[in-house]
Structure 1
Amino acid sequence: MTKFLVSFPASAMNVPAEEMAAVSEASRAVIREAKAAGIYVFGGGINSEVGSTMVAADGSCTSETYPQTAQFDGGFCVLELASRADAVQWAARLATACRCAQELREFYYDPES
């Protein structure tokens, strides 16, 4: 089994405010199905109201981020699936529910994680 990251940036969800409740329920329904199928690992949404903190090896912290991740926000989930084809199908279900395309990434296998 392989773990896949399914995600989207907050800016991709161009949904009218009056439809957001329906979109939220539709996406939660897909997540409930993934949990029932035993493939859901974890997920959530990045809290854009709390800034990122860069933590150095010595434990010191600064209020910055890597430039390429400055816009990392939105929602994500990690699913554990038998194939990339299965991951594409679940990502498509989430894209339908969220009304925006989903980015699909595969985790490297590491027996220690």
Structure 2
Amino acid sequence: MTTDGKVAAQRYLISFDDGAMDSIPEEDLPSVGEAAHKVLRDAKAAGVWIFGCGVGRQQSTIVATDGTITAGPVQETKAVIGGFSIIEVSSREEAHIWAARFAAACRCAQEVREIMFDPES
């Protein structure tokens, strides 16, 4: 709760793994995209949307603290994010409601994680 009595908003990352939507038939992808965009538009209208996007399927790279660059995680051995949304809501329960809407629209499970507040960001 803030000093003015309002519930403090929290930010949440809602994400799904790369490959989670691979079982969706190609001909269904346009309707899945439209369903996901509807939830996105609803989140914007509700004032909770911060940012989101799909993550292109490609080999990532890892940049170490010394600047050394190596190949990133291999999909078969480590989960990789396939897409995400960042929302700002008053509770984890509200984040779960939005995640359920995205899960239904995208036809795949969504992971919900709180983003730690950093006043510098």
Give yes or no for TM over 0.5.
yes
Residues in 2 aligned to 1:44 and 1:76: alpha-carbon distance in whole angstroms: 6
> Within 2, Cα distance between the matches of 1:28 and 1:37?
14
Note the C-alpha offset of 1:110. Answer: 2.1
Secondary structure of 2:105's aligned partner? helix
Matched, 1:31 2:40: yes
Aligned match of 1:71: 79
Counterpart amino acid of 1:16?
A: P
* Unaligned runs of at least 5 residues, structure 2: 1-8
| Residue correspondence of structure 1 range 1-113 to structure 2 within 5 A | 1-13=9-21, 14-49=23-58, 51-65=59-73, 70-113=78-121
| Structure 2 SS opposite 1:12 | coil
The percent identity for this pair of structures is 48
Decide which structure has the larger Cα Rg and report it. 2
The gaps in structure 1 that reach 5 residues or longer are none
Structure with greater helix percent: 1
Question: Please, what TM-score do these two structures have when normalized by structure 1?
Answer: 0.86
Name the Cα RMSD after superposition.
Answer: 2.0
Matched length: 111
Offset, 1:11? 2.4
